[in-house]
Amino acid sequence: MNHTMSTPSVASQSSDRTHYKMYIGGEWVDAADGEVFDTMNPYTGRAWATIPRGRAADAERAVAAAKTAFESGDWPKLTATNRGHLLRRLADLITESAEHLARIEVIDNGKLINEMLGQVRYIPQWFHYFAGLADKVQGAVIPIDKPETLNFTRREPLGVCVAITAWNSPLLLAAYKLAPGLAAGNTFVLKPSEFTSASALEFAKLVEKAGFPPGVVNVVTGFGAEIGEPLVAHPSVAKVAFTGSEIAGQRVYETAARGLKRVTLELGGKSPNIVFDDAELDNAVRGVISGIFAATGQTCVAGSRLLVQRSIYEPFIDRVVAFARTARMGDPLDIRTQVGPITTPPQYKKVLDYIAIAKAEGATCLLGGKPATGPECGEGQFIEPTIFGDVDNKMRIAQEEVFGPVLACIPFDDYEDAIAIANDSPYALAAGVWTQSVRRAMTMSERLQAGTVWVNTYRAVSYMSPFGGHKRSGVGHENGMDSILDYTKIKSVWINTAREVPDPFVMR
Ligand code: NAD
């Protein structure tokens, strides 16, 4: 496969590989010990680039660069309005590079070109939106209950923020964090997943081109335990914005707690997609398919539990199975492909393990349930779109996140039953409801335990709307107006305007 070349500063090319560098303090550097690791193309099964294997020394360098940039130089002198201008320039550069970035993501990640083109063309909106908010973050004058005293608040940036992202949507997840955080005046060290690091390094090239002062955005690469942990533990880091698995999220939370850092955690889910018998069934079928088979089910919000009202259960499931059977697997760079490969070898094993668990638990495999190996699958690790019927919500296949194209179908009797099954989950990230009743849409959206509820739609996200999980799906929210405030701290300023300081032994 012929890969688009990057400029020499970001990466160099030998016969069949691109060799990337990290971006620290405005310079393109190797890992301190010079180590690299291969990054794979999930469709060809071949290594296509090398990535620096950063460790504690590189975390140290990057945090030091971010700290220097936060405290001195041009960044802290920049007005909020001018920070907005810089973010807009970055947004425009992303737009110009959208096709290149989308292609890199597909090669590195195996996500479909169709999906990635849409996603990367949408990402600039995060930077435009938060650019607009940059100079609207303001404190308040408090009508304080003391004479001859002025009391007001300032909203100040936190300092050095660490952004750690999962492999499934590397640039989008980075935008969720960097756009509000930079708009608020912070500096960043971004560490993408070791499975999909290339796009973040390509993004750093645009940060450099946009003219951000050195050290404001640093991108380091490597493994969670080797560089992620030292970043989270670093005493100069004020906030950690993390997207990933529940297990790593817990670890990040514990490490960050020792330093009393602020944390947002965007973790996994086991989201219910609930179909009532009054739904527009054609739309509901499409919504169910999009919920679990788009992005090969490798999305945190996957609608991996399908709850269907018993009165329509069998015919509806038949329709979902018939539709899923038509899904075209193949090369993710082919615009016609609908289901791509599983991105990483551990994930492939995990999905197959869960399929075996579901069968052992007594669920009925209605479709798929095995690897796909046709010529259209290249050398990729594909799994057939898989649907299990007769699932009991207590089964592991209904309780645990699979993160792949595996749907568990569960019948319910009525509204109360649907709520009980939907909420019987350790997770609470998202939920879908399919009904024509406004009353039911309203009551379901109130009673469902989920950070996001979609009614008659699924998988909609926007820079404007808060996104986050409840219960074990996470801590805090990203996106929306309030998310910029999460990158600020409040300072209360008291100014005494009296001529004389009163009795020093009495509290004012
Ligand atoms: P992961 O937890 O294995 O890795 C995520 C990131 O954390 C990677 O960059 C990794 O290197 C880093 N990391 C791992 N251990 C670390 C540690 N101890 N300290 C610091 N960093 C560490 O997750 P993954 O397999 O890349 O992603 C899949 C998971 O992410 C799924 O559970 C999915 O639901 C979740 N996810 C959640 C959202 C959301 O917004 N809620 C979005 C996308 C993915």
> What's residue 222's pLDDT?
98
Q: What is the rounded distance in angstroms from the CA atom of residue 15 to the CA atom of residue 50?
A: 12
> What's residue 16's pLDDT?
80
pLDDT range class, residue 6, cuts 50, 70, 90: very low
In the three-class reduction of DSSP (H, G, I as helix; E, B as strand; rest coil), residue 95 is classed as helix
pLDDT of residue 4 exceeding 50, the answer is no
- How far, rounded to the nearest angstrom, does the alpha carbon of residue 400 sit from its chain's CA centroid? 19
End-to-end CA distance of the chain: 73
Instruction: Quote the ligand 1 centre to 283 CA distance (angstroms).
Output: 32
In the three-class reduction of DSSP (H, G, I as helix; E, B as strand; rest coil), residue 487 is classed as coil
**Contact of 436 with 280, CB cutoff 8 Å:** yes
> What's residue 508's pLDDT?
76
Percentage with pLDDT > 70 across the chain: 98
Q: What is the rounded distance in angstroms from the CA atom of residue 9 to the CA atom of residue 114?
A: 29
Angle, in degrees to the nearest 10, between helices 198-210 and 80-96: 130
> What's residue 13's pLDDT?
73
Q: What is the rounded distance in angstroms from the CA atom of residue 217 to the CA atom of residue 202?
A: 13
Tokens of residue 485, six digits: 């405030």
Q: What is the rounded distance in angstroms from the CA atom of residue 371 to the CA atom of residue 10?
A: 37
Angle, in degrees to the nearest 10, between helices 124-134 and 113-122: 10
Tens of pLDDT along 231-282? Answer: 999 999 999 999 999 999 999 999 999 999 999 999 999 999 999 999 999 9
Active site residue ranges:
266, 300
Pocket of ligand 1 (CB under 6 A): 164-168, 173, 191, 193-194, 223-225, 228-229, 232, 243-245, 248, 251-252, 266-269, 300, 401, 403, 429, 469, 474
Percentage with pLDDT > 90 across the chain: 95
Q: Flag whether the pTM goes above 0.85.
A: yes
Q: What is the rounded distance in angstroms from the CA atom of residue 443 to the CA atom of residue 458?
A: 18
Q: What is the mean pLDDT of the chain?
A: 96
Q: What is the rounded distance in angstroms from the CA atom of residue 193 to the CA atom of residue 170?
A: 8
Tens of pLDDT along 158-196? Answer: 999 999 999 999 999 999 999 999 999 999 999 999 999
Tens of pLDDT along 404-441? Answer: 999 999 999 999 999 999 999 999 999 999 999 999 99
- Choose the residue to mutate in 51, 126, 164, 402 for probing ligand 1, maximizing ligand atoms within 8 Å of C-beta: 164
pLDDT of residue 136 exceeding 70, the answer is yes
Tens of pLDDT along 313-350? Answer: 999 999 999 999 999 999 999 999 999 999 999 999 99
Give the CA angle between residues 469, 473, 477 to the nearest 5°: 30
| Residue of minimum CA distance from atom 16 in ligand 1 | 224
